[in-house]
Structure 1
């Protein structure tokens, strides 16, 4: 059996631009790990070695239930390595390719876990830089974990580059990354948005047939609206994805925590709707003190709903679910309060004059007969500005019908 340092090599798991991953056993602990070794052809690049070592050490300090655990980082026989938690399950790439039957609420829960894992890494100064479906694994317990921070870099440090190699998957790369500019956590927001788009629609947002065609689309073209590809996606969820995919980083969500807050509201409503879960819910420890606070908020929410104050009941239940996302009674009450609040609003809220002019202009641009790229751009902006406007809803319904034909 081949050995590498204190590790016994069992079999090869995969290979990427930065190195090879093996299933290996830590002889000193008897633990089976995923052992990633830096590619041999990089052996002479001392600066890259040093930078990889710094980044691997930063990743090793990350500890979060939605990030793969790094056990050991070091060098043996002149080669850098990283020993990581070995995970069993399906990555999002395989789930997408086999069109796995996953309830929408479960899909949103997976997206929410990706958000919380990335938000934690960003809070520690680590940007992933290569978020893609193959780097997100869903375990048998229903927990999503982000893999392969091997391309990550610590914020404010130099970008890793190599002769002729793009470090990052082009299909999910942010525009600024595709143009060789500096990246930050908002670049991960864009890449996550591209993954979310594909997980919800089963189609990639940028469909160029060559590397350069994909990069051009990422930089210049808006993707087909989510609701055109999959009309079953809630409008608010589609709006979140399109905001994540804005070309200008300043127009995206500024942080994954913001995405998580918006997704948590949608997830709670979907759970409260009574849809059947198709994945197990990962256990999360909740203290008795927190449970008591949640019970108090639920009781207060019921009283507010009975008193006809549905808006305040919704706010109470959102707070309760932030304390304990597994609180089923809070999710149920949020759904009932949300429905009551929605039923009391028979029309979409009026737009201010400037927004109304913009919507009118965009509706004209989105009308059949124009350039497809311009139409897609107009529809994407309409979903952001006026998702509840009946004119926008009708337009999306019409486009989804044409897409299916």
Structure 2
């Protein structure tokens, strides 16, 4: 674990996590009396590499600072200190979907649809502002105390250029990363769509898209199509199979073009699923910011039940 940094105006409390390129600390912002998350990125020793990383850090921090969305953990400000850069961010006290999965707590289908609607809404906001998350996974989706989801850790996010693509060094989490992330290819919002699809597949089935060592997972991502959810769990309705197939296509050109398209497909699958069991129609509409429809407000039972479930996690 990295050493505790000293940042003016922040009383550091302790480390809360670390990754390949950054460490996150819990801190107290004294001036406004609030708890914050402080992400630190150490500078390389080589002067040329350090200058390049500093330029990229500033550019990306400024871009992330422009994101303001209910389902994205906000960035308050960023700065540089001796030997590292840092971002002071919103601290979300909640449970990640990874911890929910590891605890063996299976989410209802309606809750998964709600969460994915919020995640796609957050990604759409970022993509419209030229930011690719590039590490969407259950561990980076946190449930707030009110049950809503927040997308966190834009630590390896990339800012797109005028062609709406970006080439990055190999980073990400193998279980959920798109094939192009291992081929050093240009990334765009379809990279996030793949990872969101892999996350949804895991939530639906309780099974990871691919299994094995990191090398085996990457090889399978590059050579195999993702399994349909209903094959992994025969108890699931088949309506989400084509949704996951399109989101996780190996070839980016065969995926949904935008997260809005992905959200619409999720809504359509949910409509088919719910209509098959209840002719009164769907309760949720993720493409409409995942708020209950007028019809569901007349029939609020499932909505209230789902909210109570999420709040209890």
Give 1:271 deviation, angstroms.
6.9
3-state SS of paired residue (1:207)? coil
Say how many residue pairs are matched: 290
Which ranges in structure 2 are unaligned for 5 or more consecutive residues? Answer: 300-313
Map 1:117-132; keep pairs closer than 5 Å.
Answer: 117-132=122-137
**What's the Cα RMSD here?**
2.9
Matched with 2:182 is: 178
Q: Distance in 1 between matches of 2:59 and 2:217?
A: 31
Q: Say whether residues 1:207 and 2:211 are aligned partners.
A: yes
Q: Distance in 1 between matches of 2:124 and 2:156?
A: 17
Q: Distance in 1 between matches of 2:281 and 2:209?
A: 33
Q: Residue 83 of structure 1: which of 82, 88, 102 is its match?
A: 88
Map 1:1-400; keep pairs closer than 5 Å.
Answer: 3-39=6-42, 41=44, 44=47, 45-156=50-161, 159-161=167-169, 166-209=170-213, 211-267=214-270, 322=288, 325-330=291-296
Cα distance change of structure 1 residues 314 and 197 upon mapping to structure 2, 3 Å threshold:
closer
Which ranges in structure 1 are unaligned for 5 or more consecutive residues? Answer: 276-309, 334-405
Give 1:79 deviation, angstroms.
2.2
Q: Residues 133 and 154 of structure 2 are in contact (CA less than 8 Å); yes or no, is this contact kept in structure 1?
A: yes
Q: Distance in 2 between matches of 1:324 and 1:138?
A: 15
Q: Residues 186 and 254 of structure 1 are in contact (CA less than 8 Å); yes or no, is this contact kept in structure 2?
A: yes
Q: Residues 284 and 292 of structure 2 are in contact (CA less than 8 Å); yes or no, is this contact kept in structure 1?
A: no
Q: Deviations over 1:186-235 (max 9, x none)?
A: 111111111111111111111122x2211111110123321111123222
TM-score normalized by structure 1?
0.65
3-state SS of paired residue (1:105)? helix
Between structures 1 and 2, the one with greater helix share: 1
